[in-house]
Amino acid sequence: MTLLTVERIKLFSTRSPWWCMILATALTVGLTSVFAATTKSRDLNDLTPSVTQFAYNFGLVVMMVMATLAVTTEYRFSTIRSTFLAVPRRTPALLAKVTVVGLVAGIVGEITAVGSWAVAKAIKPDAPLAIDTAQEYRNVFGVGLIYLLSAVLAVAVGLIVRQSAGAIVIELVYLLLLENLLPSIPTIGDNIQHWLPFTVGNNFIVAGQPETSDGPAVITGMPFGPWGSLVYFAAVCVGLFVVAGFLAKRRDA
121-125, 153-157, 205-209, range with the lowest pLDDT: 205-209
Residues 6+ apart with CB under 8 A from 132: none
Average confidence (pLDDT) over 104-132: 92
Q: How far is the C-alpha of 125 from the C-alpha of 225, rounded, in Å?
A: 32
Measured between alpha carbons, how far is 151 from 76 in angstroms, rounded to an integer? 19
In which band, very low, low, confident or very high, does the pLDDT at 71 lie, cut at 50, 70 and 90?
Answer: very high
| Residue 89: predicted pLDDT | 86
pLDDT digit string, tens, across residues 219-232: 777 888 899 999 99
Query: Over the stretch 128-163, which tens digit does the pLDDT of each residue have?
Result: 888 888 888 999 999 999 999 999 999 999 999 999
Residues 6+ apart with CB under 8 A from 30: none
pLDDT score, position 43:
74
Q: Is the pLDDT of residue 65 over 90?
A: yes
Mean per-residue pLDDT of the chain: 89
29 vs 89, which has greater pLDDT?
A: 29
What is the pLDDT at residue 184? 79
DSSP string of 98-167?
HHHHHHHHHHHHHHHHHHHHHHHHHH-TTSS----SHHHHHHHHTHHHHHHHHHHHHHHHHHHH--HHHH
Which stretch of 45-54, 95-104, 164-173, 205-214 has the lowest confidence by average pLDDT?
205-214
> Global pTM?
0.92
Buried b or exposed e, range 43-77, using 16+ CB within 10 angstroms: ebebbbbbbbbbbbbbbbbbbbbbbbbbbbbbbee
Instruction: Give, in order, the Cα–Cα distances in Å from 189 to each of 59, 172, 182, 184.
Output: 27, 20, 6, 5
The residue range of the domain holding 175 is: 2-250
pLDDT at 189 over 80: no
How many domains are contained in the chain? 1
